[in-house]
Structure formats: structure tokens, C-alpha cells
Amino acid sequence: MPVTVLRPDAKGRVGLDSLTRLLRQRYGGQPISGYAAEITADGTIVLRPRVEVDAEQAATLVLTTRDRDVFLDALAKPARPAAPLRAAAKRHGKNIARS
Amino acid sequence: MKLVVRRLDAHADRDRFDCGVAPLDEWLKRQAGQAERKRLASVWIATTPDDSASIVGYYSLAPWQIAFEECPPAVSKKLPRYPVAVTLVARLAVARAAQGRGVGAELLVDAVFRAHSASETVPVQAVVVHAKDETAANWYKRHGFVSFSDRPLHLFLTMETIGALKHPPG
């Protein structure tokens, strides 16, 4: 699902014609109710799939009973870190500094 | 590749970041600053030591929780807290120019270390990721993340497992 970005001109304006043209190109013939529009601080209009926005804002993952049991089993019996993660941790120690 | 990881700031050149996945590029350019200002997420960027403006990769961390469709008393009694607090690695991306050099895995380690350190102060049980597709999910699985059967693009790693890795000082 595409993300649509419409940037303002030097005066911070977004033309209605360009917005209409872009919407027609991207979404012509299909409903746009599945998209959420956001205007950022610099005036840019961002249209994103609503499911993505909802997932971010929900902040809760609801698990089925089957997945609940997977999760609780892992908490009860934590696995040893996988070899690729251990190797990456070793590289991290050599390559990454924090500031 | 030597990198320095720091919190997103005004000095970072977000406009030139290109990881090849438009939503990840656009989020960094257009929404990461807002996410920081609204305290929805913390955003961490990696640069090289000699160019502190060009972003080589980034990740973001956000508070999240896990609830269950069914949580009988026998289950909730075993939990320290319900819903279960977790940390979400909301996004992780590496610039095209640095891809294929293990930077993504090192940033993943940095993210889980940071989440683990924070959990020493405000405890959470696990780190959760939301993979963008099956390929990404398989990459997380290779690094030990466990996927949920009914939500295969959501994966997690317990804090205990992260704690068993050798952490950087501080």
C-alpha cells in the first residue's frame, strides 16, 4: 500500500490542483477511506494506509490463545540467544560507539 | 563498519536517507521528529565517526503492551503485570550504501540492548518487532526472534534472552 507525500512550495503552500491530480493518479476509481492524512509541521501532506496508523496508535497487541501460550512459554523458558545475534553482539562491541 | 549511534537531532540530514523502502524513508524524513516531540517513540540514528550528518541507519523504540483474547485467572496469576509491558522496535532501516555489511544486525543489537537497559529502570518483559514482510520476519527469526502463529509478522525476544548477551558498558 503506497504512502503519498505532497510537499509545499517555498512559501509553504500546497496547490489544490496538484493535490487533486496526485489523488486522482494514486487513488482514481478506488475509495480513499482506508488512508489517513497528516499535515506535518512544514506543511507537507502525508497520506498513509490507515491500518498502519492504527497499529502505531493502538500500542497494544492482542494475542490469540495459541499465541498467548507461545509467549508465556518463552517467558517461562527463555531461549539462549541465537548464534547470529551473538555474533552481531560481538561486532556491536567492536564497531558501535554511543554518544 | 565503525558507527556512532545517537538520538535523532537537528544536525542529522534526514532528507538524503534512502534505504530503498519508501515508507521507512518517509517516516524518518517527515514523522520521526514529531514522534520524538510527542514522546511516542525515541529515534536513534547511526552515522560514521567522520560524518555525523549522513545517516547510515536508524531505529525507533516505543512503549507497547501485549494483551490476550482470553486471560483466565490461572494465567494472569503467573504474570507480574497484565497487560504485559513490552518495548516495540517500531522501525529499523539501513541506507542502501551500507546494506549487506551486517549493519542491520548491529543496529538490532543496539536496539535490544537499549531496551534491556531501560527495562532495568522500568521493567518490560520482551522486545517486539513488526516485520514489514515475510523476508524481514525470517531475518528476525534467524536472530532468535519468535513469531506468533496467528500474527506471523509480529515477533518477540524475551528480556531474559537479551540479558544473556554480553552488553556494552553503561
Compute the mean pLDDT over every residue in chain B, rounded to the nearest whole number: 92
Long-range CB contacts for residues A15-23, cutoff 8 Å, separation at least 24: A19/A45
Q: How many domains does chain B have?
A: 1
Residue B170 resides in a domain: no
B160 CB neighbour count, 10 Å cutoff: 18
| pLDDT above 60: residue B142 | yes
3 state DSSP class of B125: coil
Question: What are the chain A neighbours of B156 within 8 Å (beta carbons)?
Answer: 71, 74
Residue A37 forms contact with B (CB below 8 Å): no
Residue B169 resides in a domain: no
Q: Return d(Cα B48, Cα B115) in angstroms, integer.
A: 23
Q: Specify the CATH number for the domain of residue B38.
A: 3.40.630.30
Q: Return d(Cα A77, Cα A70) in angstroms, integer.
A: 11
Domain span including residue B39: 4-163
8 Å CB contact between B57 and B108:
no
pLDDT at site B10 = 93
Q: Return d(Cα B26, Cα B34) in angstroms, integer.
A: 13
For residue range A50-67, what is the model confidence (pLDDT) as tens digits?
A: 666 666 666 888 899 999
State the cell numbers at B40: 511516542
Q: Can you list the alpha helix ranges (DSSP code H) found in chain B?
A: 22-26, 32-37, 73-76, 103-121, 134-142, 159-163
pLDDT at site A94 = 93
8 Å CB contact between B131 and B137:
yes
| pLDDT above 90: residue B163 | yes
8 Å CB contact between B76 and B67:
no
Residue B46 resides in a domain: yes
Which of A60, A85, A98 is the closest to B165 by Cβ?
A85
What stretches in chain A show pLDDT beneath 50?
1
Question: What are the chain B neighbours of A8 within 8 Å (beta carbons)?
Answer: none
Q: Is B140 a catalytic residue?
A: yes
Which one has a higher pLDDT value, B23 or B2?
Answer: B2
pLDDT at site A82 = 97
The C-alpha cell 531475518 sits at: B139
Residue B51 resides in a domain: yes
* Chain B residue at shortest CA distance from A74: B158
Residue A72 forms contact with B (CB below 8 Å): yes
Residue B85 resides in a domain: yes
pLDDT at site B169 = 58
For residue range B40-63, what is the model confidence (pLDDT) as tens digits?
A: 899 999 999 999 999 999 999 999
Residue B80 resides in a domain: yes
pLDDT at site B51 = 96
User: What average pLDDT does the segment B68-84 reach?
Assistant: 84
| pLDDT above 60: residue B170 | no
State the cell numbers at B146: 519468535
